[in-house]
Amino acid sequence: MRVVILPTADDVAHYCAEQIIHQIQQKSNTVLGLATGSTPVASYQKLIQACSKKEVSFAKVSSFNLDEYIGLESTHPQSYRNFMNQELFNHIDIKFENTHVPDGLSPDFEKSCQAYESLILQKGGVDLQLLGIGENGHIGFNEPSSSLNSRTRVKTLSPQTVANNARFFKVGETQPQLAVTMGIGTIMDAKKVVLLATGSQKKQAVANLIEGSISAFSPASILQMHPKTMVIIDESAAELLALNDYYLHIEDVQIKLSKHKNV
């Protein structure tokens, strides 16, 4: 696991966008796994800027989002389909038909979840999976106690997740308690994983992810088993890391080595 600690949330967004742009430059038909929530928004803004300056093109890119609320129309302001359209897809040159978000209104979730998995495979699998992390350690909507081998399916949101996400819903508006989410096994199949966390409210989840035991109690901890995971965090999210200085030292050495290689 590579741990990149940067001074600010803006640095995290910049570094993350660089990783995604680099990935697309290496493989123009990259399959991206994408996340919603507050954390990736700043990275999406950087990608929009880069695309408008023609530094990157999403024309051949496909995307699969992690999750969707159950019961919301795709046009509902809080649906994750709508979020992705507003925050990214409407502003870049990706083909709308190449963007995929799980169906939160499926008449048969078993079937639609399997179809989502099959479509990912058909496209050759996810090349780069972007993740945020919940305060309770969830990735996607794989809440604590989720099977570490799980596939795309319906999950019941934890009271903590419902409370954390209440900020997006108007007072009196019905907030979904269920979601369809890629499973942890699905996420682990991605060739690369990039997880973002910013702010001190994430510091315990980040410490459990990087330095805790692998456990369904902290679903993100399974990423310790993934061969290519990069965790990009700001200093506030890194506050509880016992080996903070070591992670900074590794990145320092990497930078020196890459400069040396270029000489």
Q: Which residues are catalytic?
A: 67, 136, 138, 143
- Binding to ligand F6R by residue 143, rule CB under 6 A? no
Strands 178-181 and 67-69, how do they pair?
A: antiparallel
Count of chain residues binding ligand F6R (CB under 6 A): 14
Quick note: the x/- pattern for ligand F6R over 102-131, rule CB under 6 A, is ------------------------------
By beta-carbon proximity to ligand F6R, the closer residue of 133 and 222 is: 133
Other beta carbons within 10 angstroms of residue 10's beta carbon come to 13
Residues 6+ apart with CB under 8 A from 7: 234, 235
Q: Which is nearer to ligand F6R, 57 or 236 (CB)?
A: 236
Q: Does 33 bind ligand F6R (CB under 6 A)?
A: no
Choose which of 132, 176, 183, 219 interacts with ligand F6R (CB under 6 A). 132
CA–CA separation, 220 vs 148, rounded Å? 9
Show the site string, 57-76: x = touches ligand F6R by CB under 6 A, - = not: ---------xx---------
Please report whether residue 183 would count as binding ligand F6R according to CB under 6 A.
Answer: no
Rank residues 57 and 204 by Cβ distance to ligand F6R and give the closer one.
204
- Does 35 bind ligand F6R (CB under 6 A)? Our answer is yes
Decide: 113 and 141 in contact? Cβ < 8 Å: no
d(CA 183, CA 26): 27
Nearest-approach distance from CB 211 to ligand F6R, in angstroms: 20
Distance CA 61, CA 81 (A): 17
Which of 11, 19, 21, 38 binds ligand F6R (CB under 6 A)? It is 38
Query: Which one, 138 or 191, has the nearer CB to ligand F6R?
Result: 138
How far the first Cα of the chain sits from its last, in Å, is 27
Contact segment (CB under 6 A) with ligand F6R among 34-42, 109-117, 229-237, 253-261 equals 34-42
Residue of the chain from 140, 176, 183, 219 that contacts ligand F6R (CB under 6 A)? 140
Judged by CB under 6 A, does residue 157 bind ligand F6R?
Answer: no
Which is nearer to ligand F6R, 168 or 248 (by Cβ)? 168
Nearest to 184 by CA among 221, 235, 156: 221
85 near ligand F6R, rule: CB under 6 A: no
Chain residues binding ligand F6R by CB under 6 A are: 35-39, 66-67, 132-134, 138-141
